[in-house]
Chain A
Amino acid sequence: MRVQSLAWQMGRARIMYMSPKDLEDIYDVVIVGAGAAGLSAALGLLYSPQVANERESGQEPKILVVSKLQPLRSHTGSAEGGIAASLGNSEHDDWHWHYYDTVKGGDWLVDQDAARILAQEAPETVINLERSGVAFSRTDDGHIDQRRFGGHTADFGQAPVRRAAYAADRIGHQILFSLWQQCVGLGVRFAEEWYVSDLVLSSQHHSNQADLSQEAAVAGIVAFDSATGKVHPIAARQVLLATGGAGRLFHTTSNSWDLTGDGMALALEAGLQLEDMEFIQFHPTGLGHTGILLSEAARAEGATLRNAEGRAFMTDYAPDHGDLAARDVVSRSIMSEIDAGRGVADPSDPQGAKDCVWLDMTDIDRDHMLQTLPQVVETIQEYAGLDPTMDLVPVKPTAHYTMGGIPITTEGRVYQWMDGERREIQGLHAAGECSCLSVHGANRLGGNSLLDACLFGKRAGLDMAAQLLALGQTEGAVTARNQVEEAARRREGNLLSLLENQGADVPGDAAESASGPTPKNEGSRGDSQSADPHNAYELLARLGQIMETAVAVRCDQEGIDQALAALHGELEPQIKTLRSHSDSRVFNQEVTAIWEVGHLAELADVVLRASAARQESRGSLKRVDFPDRDDRRYLVHSMTAEGSEPSWQPVHILDMPPQARQY
Chain B
Amino acid sequence: MSGDVAKARVTLRISRFTPRAEQAAKRPSSPFAAKSSSPFAKSTSPFGASSAPRRARGKRWTQDYSLVVRPQDSILDCLLTIKRTMDPTLAFRYSCGHGMCGSDAAAVNGTPTLLCKTSVGQSAQGAAVAAGSHCGFRHTRPAEGFKQADQQPDQPVKATTDRNDQYHQDNMIQQATDGIVDLGVIELAPLPGFPVQRDLIADIDPMLDQITRLKPYLQTDGKLATTSEGKVDVFEYLQKPDELAKYELLSNCIACGVCEGSCPVYAGGNPFMGPAALIAASRFINDSRDQAQDARFDAIDTEDGVAACQSVRACSRQCPRGIDVGEEMWQLISRVGQRQEQDLA
Nearest CB on A from B125, distance (A): 16
A25 to B35, CA, bound (A): 8
A516 to B18, CA, bound (A): 12
Q: Are B16 and A523 in contact (CB under 8 A)?
A: yes
Q: Does A489 contact B (CB under 8 A)?
A: no
| Chain A residues whose C-beta falls within 8 Å of the C-beta of B197 in the assembled complex | 227, 586-587
Tell me whether A23 and B31 are in contact in the complex, defined as CB-CB below 8 angstroms, given that A523-B16, A582-B18 are known contacts.
yes
| Chain A residues whose C-beta falls within 8 Å of the C-beta of B72 in the assembled complex | 348, 385
Residues in B208-228 with C-beta less than 8 Å from chain A: 208-209, 212-213, 215-220, 222, 224
Residue interface bits B277-301, CB-to-A below 8 A is 1, else 0: 0000000000101001000000000
A258 to B162, CA, bound (A): 29
| Chain B residues whose C-beta falls within 8 Å of the C-beta of A523 in the assembled complex | 16, 18, 59, 61, 89
Q: Chain B interface: which size bin?
A: 35 or more
Nearest CB on B from A386, distance (A): 11
| Chain B residues whose C-beta falls within 8 Å of the C-beta of A233 in the assembled complex | 31
Tell me whether A513 and B21 are in contact in the complex, defined as CB-CB below 8 angstroms, given that A14-B40, A350-B5, A382-B117 are known contacts.
yes
Question: Which of A24, A234, A538 is most buried by chain B, counting CB atoms within 10 A of its CB?
Answer: A24
Q: Are A256 and B61 in contact (CB under 8 A)?
A: no
Tell me whether A526 and B159 are in contact in the complex, defined as CB-CB below 8 angstroms, given that A72-B255, A135-B247, A181-B218 are known contacts.
yes
Q: Does A160 contact B (CB under 8 A)?
A: no
Q: Does A104 contact B (CB under 8 A)?
A: no
| Chain A residues whose C-beta falls within 8 Å of the C-beta of B201 in the assembled complex | 587
Q: Are B95 and A75 in contact (CB under 8 A)?
A: yes
Cβ 8 A contact of A228, one of B27, B204, B237: B27
Nearest CB on A from B309, distance (A): 23
Q: Are B35 and A587 in contact (CB under 8 A)?
A: no
| Chain B residues whose C-beta falls within 8 Å of the C-beta of A329 in the assembled complex | none
A431 to B81, CA, bound (A): 34
Q: Does A300 contact B (CB under 8 A)?
A: no
Q: Does B53 contact A (CB under 8 A)?
A: no
Q: Are A581 and B89 in contact (CB under 8 A)?
A: yes
Q: Are B222 and A5 in contact (CB under 8 A)?
A: yes
| Chain A residues whose C-beta falls within 8 Å of the C-beta of B43 in the assembled complex | 14-15
A117 to B47, CA, bound (A): 44
- Stretch from A63-71, A197-205, A616-624, A653-661 forming part of the interface with B: A63-71
| Chain A residues whose C-beta falls within 8 Å of the C-beta of B236 in the assembled complex | 127, 130-131, 136, 143-144
Q: Are B97 and A257 in contact (CB under 8 A)?
A: yes
Q: Are A135 and B209 in contact (CB under 8 A)?
A: no
Q: Does A316 contact B (CB under 8 A)?
A: no
Q: Does A518 contact B (CB under 8 A)?
A: yes
Q: Are B251 and A177 in contact (CB under 8 A)?
A: yes
Q: Which residue from chain A places its CB closest to the CB of B219 in the assembled complex?
A: A8
Nearest CB on A from B226, distance (A): 13
A588 to B247, CA, bound (A): 39
Tell me whether A18 and B248 are in contact in the complex, defined as CB-CB below 8 angstroms, given that A77-B101, A138-B241 are known contacts.
no
Q: Does B314 contact A (CB under 8 A)?
A: no
Q: Does B84 contact A (CB under 8 A)?
A: yes
Nearest CB on B from A504, distance (A): 20
Q: Are A24 and B97 in contact (CB under 8 A)?
A: no
Q: Chain A interface: which size bin?
A: 35 or more
Q: Are A257 and B94 in contact (CB under 8 A)?
A: yes
A290 to B289, CA, bound (A): 39
A523 to B18, CA, bound (A): 6
| Chain A residues whose C-beta falls within 8 Å of the C-beta of B98 in the assembled complex | 78, 290, 292, 379, 382-383
Q: Does A584 contact B (CB under 8 A)?
A: yes
Cβ 8 A contact of B35, one of A23, A348, A530, A536: A23
Q: Which residue from chain B places its CB closest to the CB of A63 in the assembled complex?
A: B39
A535 to B90, CA, bound (A): 12
Q: Does A573 contact B (CB under 8 A)?
A: no
Q: Are B5 and A349 in contact (CB under 8 A)?
A: yes
Interface of B, secondary structure class, is loop
Residue interface bits A202-232, CB-to-B below 8 A is 1, else 0: 0000000000000000000000000111101
Question: Which of B70, B87, B234, B236 is most buried by chain A, counting CB atoms within 10 A of its CB?
Answer: B236
Q: Are B24 and A18 in contact (CB under 8 A)?
A: no
| Chain A residues whose C-beta falls within 8 Å of the C-beta of B244 in the assembled complex | 135, 137-138
Cβ 8 A contact of A15, one of B25, B46, B157, B159: B46
Tell me whether A138 and B239 are in contact in the complex, defined as CB-CB below 8 angstroms, given that A22-B33, A25-B35, A60-B39 are known contacts.
yes
Q: Does A354 contact B (CB under 8 A)?
A: no
Q: Does A612 contact B (CB under 8 A)?
A: no
Cβ 8 A contact of A189, one of B40, B83, B84, B204: B40
A530 to B161, CA, bound (A): 7
| Chain A residues whose C-beta falls within 8 Å of the C-beta of B213 in the assembled complex | 15
Q: Which residue from chain A places its CB closest to the CB of B39 in the assembled complex?
A: A189
Q: Does B274 contact A (CB under 8 A)?
A: no
A548 to B25, CA, bound (A): 42
Q: Does B158 contact A (CB under 8 A)?
A: yes
A160 to B96, CA, bound (A): 32
| Chain B residues whose C-beta falls within 8 Å of the C-beta of A173 in the assembled complex | 100, 252, 254
Q: Which residue from chain B places its CB closest to the CB of A177 in the assembled complex?
A: B251
Q: Does A16 contact B (CB under 8 A)?
A: yes
A274 to B345, CA, bound (A): 68
Tell me whether A517 and B59 are in contact in the complex, defined as CB-CB below 8 angstroms, given that A8-B217, A60-B38, A256-B95 are known contacts.
yes
Residues in A217-275 with C-beta less than 8 Å from chain B: 227-230, 232-234, 256-258
Q: Does B3 contact A (CB under 8 A)?
A: no
Tell me whether A257 and B100 are in contact in the complex, defined as CB-CB below 8 angstroms, given that A187-B40, A230-B27, A584-B18 are known contacts.
no
Tell me whether A75 and B101 are in contact in the complex, defined as CB-CB below 8 angstroms, given that A170-B252, A182-B217, A227-B197 are known contacts.
yes
Q: Does A527 contact B (CB under 8 A)?
A: yes
Residues in B10-24 with C-beta less than 8 Å from chain A: 16, 18-24
Tell me whether A62 and B38 are in contact in the complex, defined as CB-CB below 8 angstroms, given that A513-B20, A587-B201 are known contacts.
yes
A307 to B25, CA, bound (A): 59
Question: Which of B22, B74, B159, B217 is most buried by chain A, counting CB atoms within 10 A of its CB?
Answer: B217
A389 to B107, CA, bound (A): 33
| Chain B residues whose C-beta falls within 8 Å of the C-beta of A385 in the assembled complex | 72
Nearest CB on B from A127, distance (A): 4
Q: Are A131 and B18 in contact (CB under 8 A)?
A: no
Question: Which of B40, B46, B84, B239 is most buried by chain A, counting CB atoms within 10 A of its CB?
Answer: B40
Residues in A59-89 with C-beta less than 8 Å from chain B: 60, 62-64, 69-70, 72-75, 77-78
Q: Does A472 contact B (CB under 8 A)?
A: no
Residues in B72-112 with C-beta less than 8 Å from chain A: 72, 74, 80, 83-91, 93-103
Question: Which of A517, A525, A530 is most buried by chain B, counting CB atoms within 10 A of its CB?
Answer: A517
A234 to B35, CA, bound (A): 13
Residue interface bits A372-385, CB-to-B below 8 A is 1, else 0: 00000011001101
A130 to B101, CA, bound (A): 22
Tell me whether A174 and B216 are in contact in the complex, defined as CB-CB below 8 angstroms, given that A17-B46, A350-B5 are known contacts.
no
Q: Are B95 and A257 in contact (CB under 8 A)?
A: yes
Q: Are A184 and B31 in contact (CB under 8 A)?
A: no
Q: Does A148 contact B (CB under 8 A)?
A: no
Q: Which residue from chain B places its CB closest to the CB of A59 in the assembled complex?
A: B38
Q: Does B63 contact A (CB under 8 A)?
A: yes
Q: CB within 8 Å of B: which residues of A?
A: 1, 3, 5-9, 13-25, 60, 62-64, 69-70, 72-75, 77-78, 127, 130-133, 135-138, 140-144, 168, 170, 173-174, 177-178, 181-182, 184-185, 187, 189, 227-230, 232-234, 256-258, 290, 292, 348-350, 378-379, 382-383, 385, 481, 509-510, 512-513, 516-519, 522-527, 529-530, 535-538, 541, 580-582, 584-590, 593
Would you mind naming 15 contact pairs between A and B with Cβ atoms under 8 Å apart?
A: A17-B39, A18-B209, A60-B38, A74-B101, A133-B218, A137-B244, A142-B239, A178-B218, A256-B101, A350-B1, A513-B25, A519-B59, A526-B90, A535-B83, A588-B91
Q: CB within 8 Å of A: which residues of B?
A: 1, 5, 16, 18-25, 27-28, 31-36, 38-41, 43-44, 46, 57-59, 61, 63, 70, 72, 74, 80, 83-91, 93-103, 117, 157-159, 161-162, 197-199, 201, 204-205, 208-209, 212-213, 215-220, 222, 224, 234-241, 243-244, 247-248, 251-252, 254-255, 287, 289, 292
Closest 3 CB pairs of A and B: A526-B87, A142-B238, A517-B20
